[in-house]
Amino acid sequence: MFEGQPKGLWALAFANTGERFGYYTMLAVFILFLQANFGWSSATAGTVYSSFLACVYFLPIIGGAAADKWGYSKMVTIGIFIMFIGYALLSIPMGSSLVAIIAMAAALLLVSLGTGLFKGNLQVMVGDLYNDAQYAHKRDAGFSLFYMLINVGAMFAPTAAIGIMNWAQTSLGVSEADSYHFAFAVACVSLIVSIAIYYMFKSTFAQVLTVSKKDGEKQAAGEEMSSAETKERIICLCLVFAVVIFFWMAFHQNGATLTYFARDFVATSANGITAMEMDVTNLVACIFIVYGLFGVFQNKAKGKIISVVLIVAACGYLVYNYLNVSEVSVDAPIFQQFNPCFVIALTPVSIGIFGWLNKKGKEPKAPVKIGLGMVVAGIAYLLMTVSTLGLPAPNAQNPEHLASLDPNLLVSTYLILTFAELLLSPIGISFVTKVAPTKYKGVMMGLWFGATAVGNFLVAIPAVLWGNDHYVVWGVLMGICILAALFIFSIIKKLNKVA
C-alpha cells in the first residue's frame, strides 16, 4: 500500500497535516464560540460558520489562477504566512463588541485567503508527482494516502481544542468565552510545523516546484489536445462539481447541525466501551490493529513479526483501559474526531478492495465511485431521520439539553459519512488532476474547491431549519444526496468516457 509512491508525497502530505490540524482545532469549537461569545442564535451562528467555510473553499479558484501564472510553490508559501496572521488575530480575546466582530471577520478573511493559496495548489503539486509514467497507475491510491495522512491532524484536533480550553479555564482562570481563543492559537503553532516540514523536505518534490502556466502550455502543446477534447473535459468536470456541491452541504453538517444535535440530544456522559471511544488514544490503538493486520498479510517475515507485536501491544493497551475505564464526560466537539479516525482506519481497506477489483479488471471508474458516495451519504441521514422520530424539536434560540441519546448514534452516522467521503473526496481530487487540461489544471482544482465552497455555504440551510422537527432537517439532507446520486448516474457514460 505504501510502497512505490513518489517520495514527495510524504513531505507534501505531512506539510498539509500540520495545517489541517490547526484548521480543524479551530473549526471543532468555532460554532460553539460564536454562540458562547456573541450570544447568537443557531441560525446566525450557522450562517457565519457556513459563510466562512464557503470563503475557505471558494478562494482556491483565485489561488489556482495565481499559481498557474506565478507558480504553485510560491503561492503555497505565501498562503501559509497569510493564514498565520489570521489565526494570530483570531487568538486575541476582544470580548463581544462591534470591534471584536470586525476583528473576527478580518481574521476569517485572512485564514480563507491563505487557505485559498495553500490548499488547492499543494494538491496540484501532489498530482504533478504522478505525471511520471512510473507512478501514473498509483494516482488514486496516492491521493487516498495523502487524504488519510492529512486526516491525522484532523483526528487529534477536537481533543486538542477541548484540552487547551479546559487547561485555560482551570489553570489560568479564564472564562469559557475567552478559552476558545487558546484553541485558535494552536493553529499558529501548527502552521510553523507545516512550513518547517515543507522547506526541510523540499528536495523530495523538487520536480514539481517550477510548474507554472508557461510550463503547462508547453506540456499541453506536447499532448496536442484538441479544443473539442479540452471543452469536453471541462464540461465533464463541471458536471462533477455540480454534484459534489450537495455532498459537502451534507457532509459539513459535522460542525453545524450535527454539533447542535450532540450538544442538545446526546448523553453528556458515558461508561464502558462508549467511554473508551471518546479517548482518542484508544482510537489510535484501534488504527494500529487495522494496520497491523494488513502488515501480517502483506509484509515479509520481519515485517510480519513487527505487525504482530504492534497488534498485541495495541490489544493489551485497550484491555488495560477497558478494565480501568470510568465514567467520562461527552463534550459536543469530541464527535468530530471520529470522521478523521475512520478515514485513517478505512483508507487501507478502501485501497485494498479497489486494488483487488483492479487486478480482476472490475474496479469502477471515478465517476461511479462518486455516485456511490452520494448514495452512502443519503443512507447516513436516513439513519438520523429514523433514529430521531419522536424526539422533541430543538430550541433554536435558547439551546437546551432535551434528551440523552446513545452517543453511538452519532458515531455510526460519522462512520457512514466517512464511507461516502472515501468514495468521493480523494477520488474526486484525483479525477480532477487526471482529467483537467494541463494549462487549466490550477483553475480546475480551484473550481473543485469552488464547488465545495457553494456546498459549504448551503450548510446554513439545515442550520436555519434547526428548530423544526428532526425529520425536516435530516430528511432534506437525505433527499438532496439521493437526487444528486441519480443525476450523476444519469450521465455516467459521458463521465466515464474521459475518466
User: Is the domain of 368 the same as that of 290?
Assistant: no
User: Is the domain of 312 the same as that of 232?
Assistant: no
Asked if residue 207 is part of any domain, the answer here is: no
Burial class (CB in 10 A: 0-12, 13-18, 19+), 361: exposed
In this prediction, residue 179 carries a pLDDT of 92
**Closest by Cα among 372, 294, 351 to 137:** 351
Asked if residue 213 is part of any domain, the answer here is: no
| 461, 236 Cβ separation under 8 angstroms | no
| 245, 455 Cβ separation under 8 angstroms | yes
Q: Grid cell 503547462 — which residue?
A: 216
Asked if residue 297 is part of any domain, the answer here is: yes
Residue 224 has pLDDT above 80, yes or no: no
Give how many domains the chain has, as a whole number. 2
Domain span at residue 313? 269-329
Burial class (CB in 10 A: 0-12, 13-18, 19+), 323: exposed
7-27 mean pLDDT: 90
Q: What percent of the chain has pLDDT over 90?
A: 46
Asked if residue 205 is part of any domain, the answer here is: no
How far are the Cα atoms of 15, 91, 125, 192, 193 from residue 196, in angstroms, in the given order?
8, 21, 17, 6, 5
Q: Grid cell 433514529 — which residue?
A: 387
User: Is the domain of 280 the same as that of 413?
Assistant: no
163-179 mean pLDDT: 90
Asked if residue 276 is part of any domain, the answer here is: yes
User: Is the domain of 76 the same as that of 131?
Assistant: yes
User: Is the domain of 279 the same as that of 374?
Assistant: no
Considering Cα of 167, then 170, then 171, then 177, what sign does the dihedral take?
positive
364-373 pLDDT per residue, tens: 888 999 999 9
Asked if residue 273 is part of any domain, the answer here is: yes
User: Is the domain of 156 the same as that of 279?
Assistant: no
User: Is the domain of 74 the same as that of 142?
Assistant: yes
- Count other Cβ atoms within 10 Å, centred on residue 233: 19
Distance CA 253, CA 27 (A): 12
User: Is the domain of 289 the same as that of 405?
Assistant: no
Q: What is the mean pLDDT of the chain?
A: 88
Asked if residue 456 is part of any domain, the answer here is: yes
Q: How confident is the model at residue 210 (pLDDT cuts 50, 70, 90)?
A: low
User: Is the domain of 287 the same as that of 176?
Assistant: no
User: Is the domain of 446 the same as that of 486?
Assistant: yes
Asked if residue 208 is part of any domain, the answer here is: no
Q: How confident is the model at residue 222 (pLDDT cuts 50, 70, 90)?
A: very low
Residue 235 sits in a domain whose CATH number is 1.20.1250.20
| 138, 5 Cβ separation under 8 angstroms | yes
Q: Among the listed ranges 34-38, 59-63, 327-331, which one has the minimum average pLDDT value?
A: 59-63
270-311 pLDDT per residue, tens: 999 999 999 999 999 999 999 888 888 776 777 788 889 999
Distance CA 252, CA 88 (A): 25
174 Cβ contact list (under 8 Å, min separation 6): 93, 168, 182
User: Is the domain of 146 the same as that of 294?
Assistant: no
Query: What is the 8-class DSSP label of residue 388?
Result: T
Last residue of a domain, one of 281, 305, 329: 329
Q: How confident is the model at residue 2 (pLDDT cuts 50, 70, 90)?
A: low
Last residue of a domain, one of 329, 359, 376: 329
User: Is the domain of 371 the same as that of 273?
Assistant: no
Separation of first and last alpha carbons in the chain: 23
Annotate 323-386 with DSSP letters as a single string: HT---EE--GGGGGGHHHHHHHHHHHHHHHHHHHHHHTT-PPPHHHHHHHHHHHHHHHHHHHHH
Last residue of a domain, one of 329, 348, 380: 329
Q: How many CA atoms lie within 13 A of 2 on its CB side?
A: 8
**Closest by Cα among 447, 487, 351 to 59:** 447
